[in-house]
Structure 1
Amino acid sequence: MLLASGVEPAAAGTKPKVAVEIVDAGQNPMLNRGVLKVKVRSARKGKVRVRALSSTFDGKGVMKPLTDVAWPYFKRAGQWRTVNLRLTSTGRIQVASCQDRDIQVKAGNVKSRRKAMLRQTADCRAPALDLSRAATCNFIAAQDPSICMSPFPDNYYTLADSTTETGRRINFTSGAMPENASGSVINPSPYLASDGFSQGQTISVRVPGLDNPAALAQTNPVGLVDPSRYLDPSAPVMVLDARTRERQPIWVEIDSNASSPAQTNLLIRPMVNFDPATRYIVVLRNLKDASGNLLKAPDGFRYYRDFLRSTNSRVNGRRSFYEDIFKRLRAAGIRRSNLYLAWDFTTASDENNSSRALSMRDQAFAALGDTDLADRKVQGTAPEFKVDSVQVNPSSTVARRIAGTFEVPCFLDHPTSSSECASGATLNLGPEGLPQQNGTYEANFECIVPNSIADPDSVDPELLPEESLRGRAIVYGHGLMGSIGGEIHAESQRRTAAKGFTICGTDEIGMSTGDIVTVTGALMDLSNFPKVADRLQQGLLNEMYLGRLMIHPDGLVSKAAFRVDPDLPEPADVPGGDGDAAVPEGSDLEPVLETGEDVRGWYRGISQGGIMGGALMALAPDFDRGALGVGAMNYSVLLTRSGSWGTYGAFFNPAYPNQLERPLALSLIQMLWDRGEPNGYAHRMTANPLPGTPPHDVLFDTAFGDHLVTNWQTNVQARTVGAKAVAPLITNSRWPGVDWAWGIEPITTYPYSGSAVAYWDSGPLRPGVEPESTLGTDPPPITNTPPLTGEDPHEHPRVTDTAVEMIDRFLRTDGAVTNPCAPGPCLAGGWTAP
């Protein structure tokens, strides 16, 4: 054994031969003199080899040389000598650092007791911390007292909870939440039921110095143009799975919407959604300012990184928590001493995101008598409905435009309206946290029936779909804050319907025209955001009920509006003239929809409908495939990258004037939005379905350079759901140096059975036909800002023949992905690639 002073064990009855003690382990004396002062005693005359070594956490406790070797000479036995051990050049650097360091001296074969180096320089002293908000705010990165939840997301704002799948539960408090210009703090209560953060959560943190393009270039983290660099060994920004230590594909940017560097956050976003119910560690290291200087870690974090001593219980109470993080990072080869900041967060489970909508769906279909929604069978009764109007021959290719209403179980609760499902309502949650029915809701629907179904003799035989394809049912999802009435008869729907589809849709309540007041109000006071997120879930149920109504034998085809008498002089006319009249059993009037126990419906959504359709496809029992036009996911990322943000940001930005809190606020509400948009369902949208749900395939038909729905998030969704690319996505010359299709495997053989993403490119900027007009558009910005140049190609794919053909061939019983654009990329807007 070693004695306290480092004395060599002696044989029985003899005195020890050598003893060694560290006189002064202070940092300042060592740096001032360049030596470590020790005392050595030898029981014999002669020389003794003496050297100091040190160890750190990063070195895994292994002692490494700190000083040169000294050979002090002892003139007599038992003599004590003071020995100055000269620091090596590396040793001087080590002593100057602020790492928690143990020093040990070896004299002969004797080792002194390890002694902690006393950190005394100004840089290494424990700094004073402002802990006035420590009860509610994590102080590790505190730079500005006006912001609390930075970094975010952060497990600091969770509690252990053994009853949840993640083992955590959100624990936001009013004292931590952002407040608007009126002093209204975002209500934390709606978040407390969540067992983690969003699977697409934007990571937001304030890093003074890394708040401008020059500093971002000096630090050089992985960006959008070179996503494979997330695996670089020296990557300065990383997100790791805490258990497997596998790196998460990410991109890093600064908030380009901020008005000055002092108002700018660093933003980290997933290239593929984070896995559900998973703990992650965020790593920032070796960050640089615009001049290339290394940034010093925040004082609060240094208490943990450098193991600075404190008497404060709030500081010390989390030491073991951070030590666990550091140990996991060390196992991944990441040095503690290089860290600028590190923290962890846990993502929500799939159950957290989907349980409410699944419960609503299962209760509603059980009320119809169908309790097995995964069997792909139409069972039970049809929803109740009423036809209100029929317009005959509204256009040259459409025979009928039909409007009506249908009854849906309502799971919302409105505090003032007589209609519980009216805009502004929130979910009527029971004691178990699941929605309970609260009456019924009269949802609207509108449909178009094309001539190719109602009057095939009027259609050019070359354009007429074969008979087996006529009567396919599409539920259509409309655009941003729109209505079904405003879009059901648009050119894009008429083109698709001509392929043999009867198309119906309903207002996507929650984000429809009737919700504009609620949505804009929520943007000015985010405590009201559950009114948006909750009603979106009711809207998804409405669309599922409409889908069942379309393919059920006792559904829409039970009324005259959805039957055709080919013997009438004008087949588009409603038999009997009353569209709401019941069709007698055994009638020989021809239905405009295919129905039956084994019949499947399809989904087609564009813009917002293409976005919301992702969530619907994860839940829908009656659709196998869906075509998601210019769709994406994760509204909190989409917003500031959209040309529409000028309109909606005009409500949000003045209401939340603290620019450092804006990314946080949008990231916060994504946690609620996840229950009503595809970001919360992406991992379960296709081949890994939710409980009681059949698998699905989706096709993303997308406009390259879209001004309203950023392509970056379309690609994130494609990667997350496992979609493959209809390749090439764009011409090689269109965007040189950018790995546009990273992580999306190309389809090599057609037809392809599975999910896919295809881009239609309207070409680069070029003069238009009209004076001073411009055609084409630039690639999407790599900043979190909307595209501003050229024409918006948002509407181009939906009216392009190759896109309509691809959708037609995808939305069939034997449907698959085809490539009518081969061998080149898909083009639109009149552009022919060089």
Structure 2
Amino acid sequence: MKRSVLPVLTALVMALVASLVVIVPSAAAAPPRSTPRCDPIDPAACLLPFPNDFFTVPDRSTPTGRRVSLAPEMMPRNVGGVPIDPAEWNRNDGFSPGSMLLAAVPGVDLAETGVAPITDIGASLRRDAPVVLLDATTGRRHPYWVELDSRATDPDRQAMIIRPARNLVEGHRYIVALRDLRDAEGREIPAGPAFERMLRWLPPRDPALRARWFQLRPAMIQLWRSGVRPHDLYLAWDFTVASTRSLTERALHLRDEAFADLGRAAPKVTVTGVENPTPEQDPSFARKVVGTIEVPKYLDTPAGGPGSRLAYGPDGRPEADGVYRATFQCNVPRSAFAEGAAKPLLWGHGLFGDHTAVNGLGATANESNSMPCGASWLGMSREDVPFLVTTLGDLSAFPATPDRMQQAYLNMLFLGRAMIHPGGLAALPEFRVDGRPLIDVRAGLGYAGASLGGIQGTALTALAQDFTRSVLVVPATNFSTMLNRASPFAALQPILDQAYPDRLDQQVAFALMQMLWDRGEGNGYVRHVTRDPLPRTPAKRVLLHLAFGDHQVANVATETEARTLGVRVVRPTLAPGRDPAVEPQWGLRAVPRFPYRGSALVVWDSGTPAPPLGNVPPTAGHDPHGDPGNTPAARAQAAHFLATGEVIDTCGRAPCVAIPRG
């Protein structure tokens, strides 16, 4: 890093510019553009760098004072030349709190530059770090790691990806600075022509560059005041994170309106099938009940099936139109007949599953005498697969996925209410034997979910009013981080490659998708689970189980969720040498004692090698994704947590060892 002293004249000029900016209109930018255009400071793709307030406009009606303003001409196009329709994105008042930060820096060598890698997140906060992620609202640095897109096929179009190691604060403005970047020979990479003009003390004469110069002044001045020298810069820009209202208002509206209409009544349930297997047919479950639960339908097609969108009313809020009959399944464990009524357990299935996933919970149900009930995660359930495949060919259809996911939250919340309401499931003959109920409505509702059930369960937990404890098994947040690192997505990658062959466009598309996914996955809700709860919602305690080396849910995404939740970690996590990180589980404090009445992350290790460092899925060793659920010690810890809210040590003060699923 250069350490030359700034001349006094530079300080004086910057101070003068600062004083001039004060008299620029309050947006601190040039007048709003009349036609959509690309940001000139990174010419590799129209939407780079991203996220970027260049692609927003002032809007006093939003909590952030801004609104995303994208046009079809600016968006990635598929091989048919069809741009992504930006209409749904333009509802947002900022960008994702977990957004990947993208730029293109041809020739950059991350090791020579000395950026913080995935194995040393703490290095991102060094004063001389080549990448600066500054919270402009607080003036504090934010942790991250940097990687190059491992899948890129053209070195000149390889995305440089900065990933926040903890979610960004909603509603805050951030500044990104790339400085003193180096190539493989250690030579400094100069700023591009357009950005070099941004570094000059007087605005350019070119109208487009002049407007951008004024727009960047507040960010450049704040960087200078925080110790970032302008002549070190390769690129800098700023962006605004979406507000809590923008991220959660739709799901909250669905919940509040639907439950207000329900009042004190139980949701209407119709049983459509009952199975009473013999112990020889099923040693775990004595009764399996399938039915439908009536939920207000906020989707715009008669059946609310794949491809449906949220229906909006004249007030701009989702509007109910008819009834959605959500299929559910509840399995009564044999323990309920021997020990008494079972505790209600709301269960969230994994990727592309459905309500039948409760069939795999025999050990969990009988060990804890719990009755698991589950419905489908609309949007990413088995029935959605054909539509999702089609979506990868034209991402304009993608908004239907998070829209259906929000309907799924309401379906699950209604199912949970039916499980604990005296007039709900417990009142039905299918959930009684010899006149007594098989479900204990007084025991309180708990939630558990694995994989997608952990991802979606994060958001469901933030929205829930009927439970305060969740066990999230192999969970994470932020699909834009997970997709390239997930083995299941490898089967879908060729479809995306055919439709959007440019790998830089793909990374931009992932960042765009995350902006809408936030409404329908844990990333948009994770800050409101254990603290700062959403309106009319209690704070929760959560227990997270991570499978080290997971082939399907990236460990780094799980740890990012844990940092954002503010949970403790049970140490020791792994045997010495197992984790390549300089400081494993960076930023997470240890659980101080047992039992611990709080939220925690537990790392379970079944011997799979550490995951690769790039954005590619793990392939070495067996997939440990299901191993925590296969381990009696993990199940006992989860059951105790749901029953008491306490985290207990089931690993003997040693790293937790999981049993590989056979």
Superposed CA deviations along residues 229-256 of structure 1, whole A, max 9, x for unmatched, are: 1121211011101132210101100000
Distance in 2 of aligned mates of 1:555 and 1:62: 68
Give the aligned residue type for 2:579.
W
2:450 to 606, 609, 618: 606
Could you tell me the TM-score, scaled by structure 1's length? Answer: 0.74
Structure-1 residue corresponding to 2:628: 797
Distance in 2 of aligned mates of 1:331 and 1:522: 45
Structure-2 residue corresponding to 1:668: 512
Query: Offset of 1:190 from its aligned partner?
Result: 0.3
Distance in 1 of aligned mates of 2:60 and 2:642: 44
Query: Offset of 1:259 from its aligned partner?
Result: 1.7
1:162 and 2:56 aligned: no
Distance in 2 of aligned mates of 1:497 and 1:191: 46
Query: Offset of 1:755 from its aligned partner?
Result: 1.2
Distance in 1 of aligned mates of 2:134 and 2:590: 27
Structure-2 residue corresponding to 1:540: 409
**Does the CA-based 8 Å contact 1:451-1:498 persist in structure 2?**
no
Query: Offset of 1:650 from its aligned partner?
Result: 2.1
Superposed CA deviations along residues 726-750 of structure 1, whole A, max 9, x for unmatched, are: 1111112312553221111110111
2:328 to 427, 434, 445: 445
Give the aligned residue type for 1:807.
A
1:616 to 444, 456, 460: 460
Alignment of 1:49-448 (within 5 A): 55-58=8-11, 135-142=36-43, 144=44, 147-210=45-108, 215-307=109-201, 310-369=204-263, 380-393=264-277, 394-414=281-301, 418-419=302-303, 421-448=304-331
Distance in 2 of aligned mates of 1:481 and 1:614: 17
Give the aligned residue type for 2:170.
P
**Does the CA-based 8 Å contact 1:306-1:337 persist in structure 2?**
no
**Does the CA-based 8 Å contact 1:141-1:299 persist in structure 2?**
no
Give the aligned residue type for 2:84.
I
Distance in 2 of aligned mates of 1:364 and 1:717: 29
Superposed CA deviations along residues 90-148 of structure 1, whole A, max 9, x for unmatched, are: xxxxxxxxxx9xxxxxxxxxxxxxxxxxxxxxxxxxxxxxxxx9941000121x4xx21
User: What is the Cα-based RMSD across aligned positions, in Å?
Assistant: 2.0
Structure-2 residue corresponding to 1:681: 525
Query: Offset of 1:302 from its aligned partner?
Result: 1.0
1:358–1:254 CA distance, 2 compared to 1 (3 A) = same
Could you tell me the TM-score, scaled by structure 2's length? Answer: 0.93
Distance in 2 of aligned mates of 1:607 and 1:189: 31
Query: Offset of 1:815 from its aligned partner?
Result: 2.4
Distance in 2 of aligned mates of 1:661 and 1:62: 39
SS in 2 for 1:548: helix
Structure 1 unmatched runs, 5+? 1-52, 64-99, 101-132, 370-379, 457-466, 566-588, 764-776
**Does the CA-based 8 Å contact 1:518-1:531 persist in structure 2?**
no
Distance in 1 of aligned mates of 2:557 and 2:204: 44
1:736–1:282 CA distance, 2 compared to 1 (3 A) = closer
SS in 2 for 1:238: strand
Give the aligned residue type for 1:387.
V
SS in 2 for 1:228: helix
SS in 2 for 1:811: helix
Structure-2 residue corresponding to 1:769: none
**Does the CA-based 8 Å contact 2:333-2:366 persist in structure 1?**
yes
Give the aligned residue type for 1:179.
R
Query: Offset of 1:280 from its aligned partner?
Result: 0.3
Distance in 2 of aligned mates of 1:408 and 1:747: 40
Distance in 2 of aligned mates of 1:392 and 1:696: 36
Pick the structure with more helix per residue: 2
Distance in 2 of aligned mates of 1:56 and 1:652: 52
Give the aligned residue type for 2:85.
N
2:384 to 509, 515, 523: 515
Superposed CA deviations along residues 66-86 of structure 1, whole A, max 9, x for unmatched, are: xxxxxxxxxxxxxxxxxxxxx
Superposed CA deviations along residues 705-738 of structure 1, whole A, max 9, x for unmatched, are: 0000000000000000111111111112312553
Query: Offset of 1:781 from its aligned partner?
Result: 1.5
Alignment of 1:359-758 (within 5 A): 359-369=253-263, 380-393=264-277, 394-414=281-301, 418-419=302-303, 421-456=304-339, 470-485=341-356, 487-490=357-360, 492-565=361-434, 589-595=435-441, 600-735=444-579, 738-758=582-602
**Does the CA-based 8 Å contact 2:630-2:659 persist in structure 1?**
no
Superposed CA deviations along residues 488-509 of structure 1, whole A, max 9, x for unmatched, are: 111x443344311011001111
Distance in 2 of aligned mates of 1:546 and 1:481: 20
Distance in 1 of aligned mates of 2:459 and 2:36: 37
Superposed CA deviations along residues 498-525 of structure 1, whole A, max 9, x for unmatched, are: 3110110011111111111111111211
1:493–1:167 CA distance, 2 compared to 1 (3 A) = farther
Query: Offset of 1:197 from its aligned partner?
Result: 0.1
SS in 2 for 1:664: helix
Superposed CA deviations along residues 274-311 of structure 1, whole A, max 9, x for unmatched, are: 00000000000000011110001011111111246532
Distance in 2 of aligned mates of 1:508 and 1:250: 31
Structure-2 residue corresponding to 1:88: none
Distance in 2 of aligned mates of 1:783 and 1:493: 37
1:497–1:351 CA distance, 2 compared to 1 (3 A) = farther
1:497–1:318 CA distance, 2 compared to 1 (3 A) = same
Give the aligned residue type for 2:37.
T
Query: Offset of 1:388 from its aligned partner?
Result: 1.5
**Does the CA-based 8 Å contact 1:447-1:502 persist in structure 2?**
yes
1:736–1:479 CA distance, 2 compared to 1 (3 A) = closer
Structure-2 residue corresponding to 1:827: 657
Structure 2 unmatched runs, 5+? 1-5, 18-33
1:62–1:623 CA distance, 2 compared to 1 (3 A) = closer
Distance in 1 of aligned mates of 2:425 and 2:504: 52
1:803–1:622 CA distance, 2 compared to 1 (3 A) = same
SS in 2 for 1:524: coil
Distance in 1 of aligned mates of 2:216 and 2:298: 43
Give the aligned residue type for 2:327.
N
Distance in 1 of aligned mates of 2:446 and 2:412: 11
Tell me the percent identity.
39
Distance in 2 of aligned mates of 1:58 and 1:227: 32
Query: Offset of 1:475 from its aligned partner?
Result: 0.9
Give the aligned residue type for 2:63.
E
Distance in 2 of aligned mates of 1:737 and 1:677: 28
1:161–1:728 CA distance, 2 compared to 1 (3 A) = same
Distance in 2 of aligned mates of 1:646 and 1:756: 31
Superposed CA deviations along residues 138-177 of structure 1, whole A, max 9, x for unmatched, are: 00121x4xx2111000000001111111111100111111
Alignment of 1:769-784 (within 5 A): 777-784=608-615
Distance in 2 of aligned mates of 1:61 and 1:608: 50
Distance in 2 of aligned mates of 1:355 and 1:653: 34
Distance in 2 of aligned mates of 1:736 and 1:544: 40
Give the aligned residue type for 1:303.
R
Task: For CA contacts below 8 A with separation 6 or more, give which structure has more relative contact order.
Answer: 2
SS in 2 for 1:389: strand
Query: Offset of 1:315 from its aligned partner?
Result: 1.6
